[in-house]
């Protein structure tokens, strides 16, 4: 086998490796999850993900419920409303009335990392909703946090006008703030930009080099 063939083989492998790395570098960011309002119920001192939506849930007098805006994959990693969430503290200035019920509500607009581009999340707040005994959670929320916005499938999109646009849209990692993960499950080290990992690139490089070595050996045997 001549030196010219060896050189051409090496150049071919290098070109293939460069092309593959270029494709990986240009690959779109992986999805980080969905940006939406999640609905929670207070069970003693803990928040639990609600088993039904606010449009059908009917809280009892003295219940505490929460809404949290965040980016998450699903209910398993959704960010919970931030404490405190004590009914007596929330409704201390709202006296009980016959035929009405009081529901403590926590509305957590999330962090800057949760926010859509160009928007700033309002401060977390609490409110005591005093509504009819048969009122749903959605009706209780509407009594203290208008305007609400829903989509055509009755998904809650905005509370008190936040966010201005969007509804449960998928987002990529590069659009979120890495130093403060919205879901509480990320590493928060700020190193992951949502693209291919160094390990993946190295693995592809190894495969390409091994493939090139195989081609070189095959040509050498034929020479």
Q: Is the pTM of this model over 0.75?
A: no
Q: Which residue blocks in the chain are alpha helix, DSSP H? A: 3-26, 87-90, 137-142, 198-222
The 10 Å Cβ neighbour count of residue 215 is: 14
pLDDT of residue 172: 78
Q: What is the pLDDT of residue 83?
A: 80
pLDDT at 162: 98
Assigned token pair, 111 = 């962090």
What integer pLDDT is reported at residue 52 of this predicted model?
A: 94
d(CA 19, CA 27): 12
Q: What is the pLDDT of residue 73?
A: 82
3-state helix, strand, coil in the chain (%, to 5): 30, 25, 50
CB 167 within 8 A of CB 36: yes
As a whole number of angstroms, the distance between CA 61 and CA 51 comes to: 19
Q: How confident is the chain (223 residues) per 10-residue block, as mean pLDDT?
A: 58 53 47 88 93 96 98 84 92 97 98 94 97 98 96 95 95 53 31 41 43 48 51
pLDDT number for residue 173: 65
């Amino acid at each position: 086998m001549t030196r010219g063939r060896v050189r051409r083989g090496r150049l071919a492998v290098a070109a293939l490796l460069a092309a593959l790395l270029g494709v990986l570098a240009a690959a779109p960011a992986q999805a980080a999850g969905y940006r939406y309002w999640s609905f929670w119920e207070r069970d003693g001192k803990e928040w639990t993900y609600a088993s039904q939506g606010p449009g059908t849930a009917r809280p009892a007098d003295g219940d505490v419920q929460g809404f949290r805006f965040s980016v998450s994959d699903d209910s398993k990693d959704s960010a919970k409303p931030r404490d405190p969430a004590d009914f007596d503290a929330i409704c201390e200035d709202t006296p009980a009335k016959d035929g009405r019920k009081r529901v403590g509500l926590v509305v957590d607009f999330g962090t800057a990392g949760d926010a859509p581009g160009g928007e700033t999340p309002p401060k977390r707040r609490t409110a005591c909703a005093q509504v009819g005994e048969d009122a749903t959670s959605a009706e209780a929320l509407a009594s203290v946090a208008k305007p609400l916005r829903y989509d055509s499938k009755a998904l809650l999109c905005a509370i008190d006008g936040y966010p201005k646009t969007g509804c449960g849209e998928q987002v990529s990692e590069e659009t979120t703030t890495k130093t403060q993960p919205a879901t509480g499950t990320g590493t928060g080290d700020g190193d992951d930009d949502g693209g291919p990992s160094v390990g993946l690139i190295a693995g592809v490089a190894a495969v390409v080099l091994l493939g090139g070595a195989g081609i070189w050996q095959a040509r050498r045997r034929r020479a």
